[in-house]
Protein backbone atom coordinates (compact mmCIF):
# COMPACT_ATOMS: atom_id res chain seq x y z
CA UNK A 1 0.00 0.00 0.00
CA UNK A 2 1.34 3.42 -0.96
CA UNK A 3 2.39 5.92 1.65
CA UNK A 4 -0.15 8.71 2.19
CA UNK A 5 2.36 11.41 1.23
CA UNK A 6 3.26 9.55 -1.96
CA UNK A 7 -0.43 9.37 -2.85
CA UNK A 8 -0.59 13.12 -2.31
CA UNK A 9 2.38 13.62 -4.65
CA UNK A 10 0.67 11.40 -7.25
CA UNK A 11 -2.54 13.44 -6.95
CA UNK A 12 -0.67 16.72 -7.31
CA UNK A 13 1.10 15.26 -10.33
CA UNK A 14 -2.22 14.29 -11.91
CA UNK A 15 -3.77 17.72 -11.37
CA UNK A 16 -0.61 19.47 -12.56
CA UNK A 17 -0.48 17.34 -15.71
CA UNK A 18 -4.05 18.30 -16.61
CA UNK A 19 -3.49 22.02 -15.95
CA UNK A 20 -0.14 22.10 -17.76
CA UNK A 21 -1.52 20.22 -20.76
CA UNK A 22 -4.32 22.78 -21.12
CA UNK A 23 -1.81 25.62 -20.66
CA UNK A 24 0.50 24.12 -23.29
CA UNK A 25 -2.31 23.91 -25.83
CA UNK A 26 -3.38 27.50 -25.10
CA UNK A 27 0.16 28.93 -25.33
CA UNK A 28 0.83 26.95 -28.52
CA UNK A 29 -2.26 28.48 -30.15
CA UNK A 30 -1.22 31.96 -28.94
CA UNK A 31 2.32 31.45 -30.26
CA UNK A 32 1.03 30.55 -33.73
CA UNK A 33 -1.46 33.43 -33.67
CA UNK A 34 1.23 36.00 -32.77
CA UNK A 35 3.61 34.59 -35.39
CA UNK A 36 0.97 34.72 -38.14
CA UNK A 37 -0.04 38.23 -37.03
CA UNK A 38 3.59 39.38 -37.19
CA UNK A 39 4.04 37.90 -40.68
CA UNK A 40 0.82 39.56 -41.87
CA UNK A 41 1.81 42.94 -40.45
CA UNK A 42 5.34 42.89 -41.84
CA UNK A 43 3.93 42.17 -45.33
CA UNK A 44 1.05 44.65 -45.17
CA UNK A 45 1.00 47.35 -47.91
CA UNK A 46 2.54 50.69 -47.00
CA UNK A 47 -0.80 52.48 -47.32
CA UNK A 48 -2.89 49.76 -45.68
CA UNK A 49 -3.67 52.10 -42.77
CA UNK A 50 -3.27 55.88 -42.53
CA UNK A 51 -3.52 57.77 -39.25
CA UNK A 52 -3.54 61.55 -38.89
CA UNK A 53 -5.06 63.97 -36.42
CA UNK A 54 -4.88 65.42 -32.93
CA UNK A 55 -6.40 64.84 -29.53
CA UNK A 56 -6.70 66.80 -26.31
CA UNK A 57 -7.45 65.52 -22.82
CA UNK A 58 -7.73 66.98 -19.33
CA UNK A 59 -6.23 65.01 -16.45
CA UNK A 60 -7.11 65.83 -12.84
CA UNK A 61 -5.00 64.32 -10.05
CA UNK A 62 -4.56 64.67 -6.31
CA UNK A 63 -0.75 64.84 -5.95
CA UNK A 64 -0.90 65.55 -2.23
CA UNK A 65 -2.48 62.15 -1.57
CA UNK A 66 0.10 60.31 -3.69
CA UNK A 67 3.25 62.38 -3.15
CA UNK A 68 5.25 59.31 -2.07
CA UNK A 69 4.27 57.21 -5.10
CA UNK A 70 6.64 57.84 -8.00
CA UNK A 71 4.21 56.77 -10.73
CA UNK A 72 1.89 59.69 -9.83
CA UNK A 73 4.62 62.31 -10.30
CA UNK A 74 3.70 63.71 -13.70
CA UNK A 75 6.49 65.38 -15.66
CA UNK A 76 5.54 68.36 -17.82
CA UNK A 77 7.10 68.69 -21.24
CA UNK A 78 6.86 68.29 -24.98
CA UNK A 79 7.97 64.96 -26.44
CA UNK A 80 8.92 64.09 -30.02
CA UNK A 81 7.12 60.90 -31.10
CA UNK A 82 9.59 60.28 -33.93
CA UNK A 83 11.73 58.39 -31.41
CA UNK A 84 9.11 55.64 -31.37
CA UNK A 85 8.40 55.73 -35.10
CA UNK A 86 5.61 58.32 -35.37
CA UNK A 87 5.49 61.77 -36.95
CA UNK A 88 4.11 63.99 -34.20
CA UNK A 89 4.44 65.43 -30.72
CA UNK A 90 2.99 64.68 -27.29
CA UNK A 91 2.78 67.38 -24.63
CA UNK A 92 1.82 67.61 -20.96
CA UNK A 93 1.16 71.01 -19.40
CA UNK A 94 -0.08 71.83 -15.91
CA UNK A 95 -2.92 74.35 -16.13
CA UNK A 96 -3.93 74.74 -12.49
CA UNK A 97 -3.09 73.61 -8.98
CA UNK A 98 -4.78 74.30 -5.66
CA UNK A 99 -6.64 72.69 -2.76
CA UNK A 100 -4.67 69.49 -3.28
CA UNK A 101 -5.83 69.13 -6.88
CA UNK A 102 -3.72 69.58 -10.04
CA UNK A 103 -5.05 69.78 -13.60
CA UNK A 104 -3.05 68.93 -16.72
CA UNK A 105 -3.71 69.33 -20.42
CA UNK A 106 -2.49 66.39 -22.49
CA UNK A 107 -2.28 67.10 -26.22
CA UNK A 108 -1.23 64.84 -29.07
CA UNK A 109 -0.60 65.92 -32.65
CA UNK A 110 0.06 63.26 -35.29
CA UNK A 111 1.29 63.93 -38.79
CA UNK A 112 0.34 61.50 -41.54
CA UNK A 113 1.46 58.04 -40.47
CA UNK A 114 0.91 55.09 -42.79
CA UNK A 115 0.78 51.44 -41.94
CA UNK A 116 4.44 51.25 -42.91
CA UNK A 117 5.20 53.14 -39.71
CA UNK A 118 2.59 51.47 -37.55
CA UNK A 119 2.87 47.85 -38.66
CA UNK A 120 6.64 47.65 -38.27
CA UNK A 121 6.36 48.35 -34.58
CA UNK A 122 3.30 46.13 -34.24
CA UNK A 123 5.07 43.30 -36.09
CA UNK A 124 8.06 43.63 -33.75
CA UNK A 125 5.77 43.36 -30.72
CA UNK A 126 4.03 40.31 -32.26
CA UNK A 127 7.32 38.54 -33.06
CA UNK A 128 8.75 39.19 -29.59
CA UNK A 129 5.49 38.00 -28.07
CA UNK A 130 5.55 34.81 -30.17
CA UNK A 131 9.15 34.13 -29.10
CA UNK A 132 8.29 34.55 -25.44
CA UNK A 133 5.22 32.32 -25.81
CA UNK A 134 7.21 29.69 -27.74
CA UNK A 135 9.85 29.49 -25.00
CA UNK A 136 7.12 29.38 -22.35
CA UNK A 137 5.38 26.57 -24.27
CA UNK A 138 8.61 24.56 -24.33
CA UNK A 139 8.91 25.02 -20.56
CA UNK A 140 5.30 23.86 -20.15
CA UNK A 141 6.03 20.72 -22.20
CA UNK A 142 8.87 19.82 -19.83
CA UNK A 143 6.64 20.75 -16.89
CA UNK A 144 3.99 18.35 -18.17
CA UNK A 145 6.59 15.58 -18.38
CA UNK A 146 7.60 16.26 -14.78
CA UNK A 147 3.96 16.16 -13.66
CA UNK A 148 3.53 12.82 -15.46
CA UNK A 149 6.55 11.41 -13.62
CA UNK A 150 5.16 12.60 -10.30
CA UNK A 151 1.79 11.10 -11.16
CA UNK A 152 3.22 7.59 -11.40
CA UNK A 153 6.24 7.74 -9.05
CA UNK A 154 6.79 5.57 -5.99
CA UNK A 155 8.96 8.32 -4.47
CA UNK A 156 9.76 11.89 -5.61
CA UNK A 157 13.45 11.01 -5.33
CA UNK A 158 13.38 8.54 -8.23
CA UNK A 159 15.95 9.15 -10.95
CA UNK A 160 13.31 9.74 -13.71
CA UNK A 161 11.64 12.38 -11.52
CA UNK A 162 14.94 14.14 -10.82
CA UNK A 163 15.86 14.13 -14.53
CA UNK A 164 12.43 15.52 -15.47
CA UNK A 165 12.76 18.17 -12.77
CA UNK A 166 16.19 19.24 -14.03
CA UNK A 167 14.94 19.43 -17.62
CA UNK A 168 12.00 21.57 -16.51
CA UNK A 169 14.23 23.90 -14.49
CA UNK A 170 16.73 24.44 -17.31
CA UNK A 171 13.92 24.91 -19.86
CA UNK A 172 12.75 27.93 -17.87
CA UNK A 173 16.08 29.76 -18.21
CA UNK A 174 15.77 30.93 -21.88
CA UNK A 175 12.19 32.11 -21.26
CA UNK A 176 13.23 33.96 -18.10
CA UNK A 177 16.16 35.66 -19.86
CA UNK A 178 14.00 36.82 -22.79
CA UNK A 179 11.21 37.89 -20.46
CA UNK A 180 13.65 39.84 -18.29
CA UNK A 181 15.27 41.46 -21.32
CA UNK A 182 11.86 42.49 -22.62
CA UNK A 183 10.61 43.86 -19.31
CA UNK A 184 12.87 45.29 -16.63
CA UNK A 185 10.16 44.72 -14.02
CA UNK A 186 10.44 40.94 -14.44
CA UNK A 187 13.08 40.40 -11.76
CA UNK A 188 10.53 38.19 -10.03
CA UNK A 189 10.76 35.79 -12.99
CA UNK A 190 14.50 35.34 -12.49
CA UNK A 191 14.00 34.86 -8.75
CA UNK A 192 11.34 32.21 -9.37
CA UNK A 193 13.65 30.29 -11.73
CA UNK A 194 16.50 30.47 -9.22
CA UNK A 195 14.20 29.08 -6.52
CA UNK A 196 13.20 26.19 -8.80
CA UNK A 197 16.85 25.42 -9.57
CA UNK A 198 17.60 25.51 -5.85
CA UNK A 199 14.79 23.04 -5.18
CA UNK A 200 16.20 20.78 -7.90
CA UNK A 201 19.51 20.74 -6.05
CA UNK A 202 17.70 19.86 -2.81
CA UNK A 203 15.81 16.99 -4.48
CA UNK A 204 19.01 15.75 -6.13
CA UNK A 205 20.73 15.64 -2.75
CA UNK A 206 17.70 13.84 -1.29
CA UNK A 207 17.91 11.26 -4.08
CA UNK A 208 21.59 10.66 -3.31
CA UNK A 209 20.80 10.15 0.38
CA UNK A 210 18.00 7.71 -0.45
CA UNK A 211 20.29 5.78 -2.79
CA UNK A 212 22.95 5.53 -0.08
CA UNK A 213 20.28 4.36 2.39
CA UNK A 214 18.99 1.69 -0.04
CA UNK A 215 22.53 0.42 -0.68
CA UNK A 216 23.19 0.25 3.07
CA UNK A 217 20.05 -1.83 3.59
Contact 77, 92 (CB under 8 A): yes
Say if CB 96 and CB 61 are below 8 A apart. no
pLDDT of residue 77: 81
Q: Which residue has the higher pLDDT, 28 or 58?
A: 28
Model pTM score: 0.62
Q: Which residues, other chains included, contact 171 with Cβ-Cβ below 8 Å and sequence gap of 6+?
A: 138, 139, 141, 142, 143
Higher pLDDT, 166 or 142: 142
The per-residue pLDDT for 163 is: 85
Q: What is the pLDDT of residues 71-112, one digit of tens each?
A: 556 778 888 877 666 678 888 888 877 777 788 888 888 776
| 12 pLDDT above the threshold of 80 | yes
Rounded Cα distance between 85 and 83, Å, is 6
Mean pLDDT for all residues in the chain: 79
Amino acid sequence: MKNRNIKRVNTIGTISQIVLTITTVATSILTVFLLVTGIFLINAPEDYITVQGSSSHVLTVHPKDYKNIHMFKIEEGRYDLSKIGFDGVFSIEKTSEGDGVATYNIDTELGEATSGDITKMSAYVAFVGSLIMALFTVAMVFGTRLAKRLRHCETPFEEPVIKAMKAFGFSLIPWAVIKFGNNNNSVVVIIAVLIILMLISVFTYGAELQKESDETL
